[in-house]
Amino acid sequence: MALFVMFHSPGPAWDHALPYAEQPGVMEHIGFMRSLDERGVMILGGPFESAETGEPVGMVVAEAEDLAAARALAEEDGSLRSGLLTANVRPWRPRMGRALRG
Q: Can you list the domains of the chain with their CATH numbers? A: 2-92 (3.30.70.1060)
- Where residue 17 falls among pLDDT bands split at 50, 70, 90? very high
Task: Indicate whether 25 pLDDT > 80.
Answer: yes
Nearest to 34 by CA among 26, 48, 66: 26
Single pTM value for the model: 0.90
> pLDDT digits over 35-68, tens only?
999 999 999 999 998 888 888 899 999 999 999 9
Region 19-43 average pLDDT: 95
What's residue 30's pLDDT? 95
Long-range Cβ contact pairs of 61-68 (< 8 A, separation 24 or more): 61/3, 61/4, 61/5, 61/92, 62/3, 62/4, 62/5, 62/6, 62/36, 63/1, 63/2, 63/3, 63/4, 64/1, 64/2, 64/4, 65/1, 65/2, 66/2, 67/4, 67/91
